[in-house]
Structure 1
Amino acid sequence: MMEPIRVVVTGAAGQIAYSLLYIIAKGDVFGPDQPLILHLLDIPPMMGVLEGVVMELADCAFPLLKEVVATAEPDVAFKDVSSAFLVGAMPRKQGMERRDLLAANVKIFKVQGEALDKNAKKDVKVLVVGNPANTNALICSKYAPSIPKQNFTAMTRLDQNRAQAQVAAKLGVPVADVSNVIIWGNHSSTQFPDASHAFAYVNGVKKSIPEALKDDMWLGNTFVESVQKRGAAVINARKMSSAMSAAKAAGDHMRNWFQGTEVGQFVSMGVLSDGSYGVPKDIVFSFPVEIQNKTWKIIPNLAISDFARKMLDTTAKELEEERAEALEIIGA
């Protein structure tokens, strides 16, 4: 039997975690033979709810789940963890300005960065789900200087999954037959869903998405806008934000990080920019990446159209503005 790994989920009493914990404990993320010790972190007022979650995890009788640690203490939650799902964040409330949201979250992710730095394994893989995810990941990394910057990522896999599903529906093919749809930039309404490098199997034949669809108007307008606004559409219909789909995407992101991507396929992750594709350095920006041996690498040399260039510049500008506001808030 393999040694158990410790995995922390923050905001563990919340909606996203409720679906995510099942996916993790079942073995869908780290593999069917990897035992786990789950660390669940939430704020003190949620400890009663979290106790119920712990009961349900026990009642599921997961063979891989060896122990559950439920706590409101970051130092306990991040002790010796190999993987961190940072789900908990201050949600945007009615009348709240973006700066207010940033200010609330900077404090949360400063504390969690410090706790990771002090307690987690130095090769810990950190996924920030809580919004604004890209800038939260950047701040968290700044307060964990002993952990490599490339170990901090933000989730744009939900956007990728949404985009892949919409392309598949438009083509009338199974979603598994569509690959390499890209999300560039911020997990916000400025993100750029890009299917120009994607492909699909249509009647057994591999085709590029532009060739298969033959509808540039849809790809450049309807598709982009519907992916950008999908989160708002879910809230409008469900009266709550995406939870099940966000949990599935978080699991997908971490599974690929630990188990790799298939040859010839890439996925979208918010990672620290190294200047690739003319994107400013030192912002967490979603790029297409391939992963081997738990190490991601930005896919190089993809053709960027004039339209794509404009979209990349717009979302990068928003991230630079968010970074400036966040650093001002923390006095850095």
Structure 2
Amino acid sequence: MAESGVKDPIRVVITGAAGQIAYSLIHQISSGDVFGKDQPIILHLLDITPMMGVLSGLVMEINDCSFPLIKDVVTTDSEQTAFTDVDVALFVGAMPRKEGMERKDLLTANVKIFKSQGLALEKFAKKTVKIIVVGNPANTNCFILAHYAQSIPRENFSCLTRLDHNRAKAQIASRLKVSPDAVKNVTIWGNHSSTQFPDVRSAKVTVNGVETAVFEAVKDDAWLKGDFVSTVQKRGAAVIAARKLSSAMSAAKAICDHMRDWWNGTKDNEWVSMGVISDGSYGVEKGLVFSYPVQIKNGSYSVVQGLAMDDWAQDLIEKTQKELVEEKNDAVKATSSE
């Protein structure tokens, strides 16, 4: 804490800072929506050398916004400069996904990026740094990052499945004609991919002041086990097909939701979805980066235990785990062959 009760600035690095997601993200972080209206921030913006001109224009815009919380903006193409002493690392940059691109193509391109950034994280960042990987394939990119930053605690690594979580809430809210805020405790299990399992078996919704189970409120098990699941699973591809660009605004909002909850905690009796390094909960292979329901207190998350698993849910969890194991094995093979 600095003098006269003013907090010391935190350092937040954003990779791929010249991209679309970062453009939406920077405004929300800079305005105090994530870390609080009293938390000063020093932004570290990392991108490749050809993007330095774009970043200079972005800094002009940040300056022109006159954000009182922004104490400095560092733009760089150097991983050392970007990661030195950072408190929060948002890995937005990755080889972008394009319409029709296979996930394996993405994986091969990104292994090199996340190995290099993992080594830089290990060498230069604070050991307390909180990490979110956004760039796809997010779970496996996070696995690679953690593999090369061994001295940072495993619980400090996460990947973004909050976008899928928010999509699931929105689908239920739309179906029941309520605000998304009325829906709680949906869960995204597994991979941020079309194999993910959006699960509302333990979810609750408040309709006209009365809280009920989502399955009871919707009264359509076929939809909840069919179109609802496939809509959430394929939403990213649907946005790309319609926009011809990936979902940047909603991804930025989800990153902020993820980090705000990690920083400040979740509400009592509520949970959110985060991709975290598995401790073996629900029979998932230890070490995989797997999306779980988590509750957060004092900056630390814990996986919600004891949720019921029927055969249908178990099959979907096994399917997404199988994909993650294959991705992990491909990633390990790619890193060892460099």
Q: If the TM-score is normalised by the length of the shorter chain, which range does it land in?
A: over 0.9
In the alignment, which residue of structure 1 is the partner of 2:93?
88
1:128 pairs with one of 130, 133, 154: 133
> SS at 2:54's partner residue?
helix
**Structure 2 residue aligned with 1:142:** 147
Contact 2:99 2:237 in 1 (8 A): no
Q: 1:77 matched to which residue of 2?
A: 82
Tell me the SS of whatever aligns to 2:226: helix
Task: Report sequence identity in percent.
Answer: 61
Contact 2:130 2:157 survives alignment (8 Å): yes
Query: What pairs with 1:17-36 in structure 2 (closer than 5 Å)?
Result: 17-36=22-41
Secondary structure of the 2:296 match is strand
User: Matched residues in 1 for 2:9 and 2:307: separation?
Assistant: 39
Counterpart of 1:244, as a letter, is: M
The one-letter code sitting in structure 1 at the alignment partner of 2:30 is A
Give 1:98's match in structure 2, choosing from 82, 100, 103: 103
SS at match of 1:13: coil
Amino acid at match of 1:230: R
Alignment partner of 2:167 out of 162, 170, 173: 162
After superposition, residues 112-123 of structure 1 pair within 5 angstroms as 112-123=117-128
Report if aligned partners of 2:103, 2:137 keep a CA contact under 8 Å in 1. Answer: no
1:227 aligns to 2:232 (yes or no): yes
**For 1:177-256, what aligned pairs fall within 5 Å after superposition?**
177-256=182-261
Look up the match of 1:303.
308
Question: Residues 260 and 94 from structure 1, CA distance in 2 versus in 1: closer, same or farther, beyond 3 angstroms?
Answer: closer
Alpha-carbon distance, 1:92 to partner: 3.3
Alignment correspondent of 2:156? 151
In 1: Cα distance, 2:167 partner to 2:104 partner: 28
Alpha-carbon distance between aligned partners in 2 of 1:267 and 1:178, rounded to the nearest angstrom: 11
TM-score (structure 2 length as normaliser)? 0.97
Corresponding position of 2:3: none
Distance 2:240 2:109 in 1: 22
Paired with 2:87 and 2:290, the residues of 1 have a C-alpha distance of 23
Whether 2:330 is the aligned partner of 1:325: answer yes
- Superimposed CA distance per residue, residues 162-188 of structure 1 (whole angstroms, 9 cap, x where no aligned partner): 000010010111111110111000000
CA distance in 1 between partners of 2:189 and 2:264 (Å): 23
Question: CA 1:95–1:302 in 2, change beyond 3 Å: closer, same or farther?
Answer: closer
Pairwise CA distance, 1:100 = 3.0
Measure how far apart 1:96 and its partner are: 5.1
CA 284–204 in structure 1, closer or farther in 2 if over 3 Å, else same: same
1:288 — aligned with what?
Answer: 293
For residues 267 and 96 of structure 1, what CA distance do their matches in structure 2 show?
29
**Cα distance in 2 between the residues matched to 1:204 and 1:98:** 43
Q: Which residue of 2 aligns with 1:55?
A: 60
Distance 2:302 2:166 in 1: 20
Residue type at the aligned position of 2:152: I
Match of 1:6 in 2: 11
1:301 is matched by which residue type in structure 2?
A: G
1:65, 1:161 → 2: CA distance?
A: 28
Unmatched runs of 5 consecutive residues or more in structure 2: 1-5
**TM-score, structure 1 as length reference:** 0.98
Paired with 1:99 and 1:9, the residues of 2 have a C-alpha distance of 25
Any idea what the Cα deviations from partners look like across 1:253-289, whole Å, max 9, x if unmatched?
0111111000000000000111111111111000000
Work out whether 1:172 is the aligned partner of 2:177. yes
* Contact 2:12/2:42 (<8 A) preserved: yes
The CA deviation at 1:98 is: 3.4
Distance in 2 of aligned mates of 1:268 and 1:236 = 26
Aligned residue type for 2:56: E
Equivalent residue letter for 1:37: I
In structure 1, runs of 5+ residues without a counterpart are none
Which AA in structure 1 matches 2:130?
Answer: K
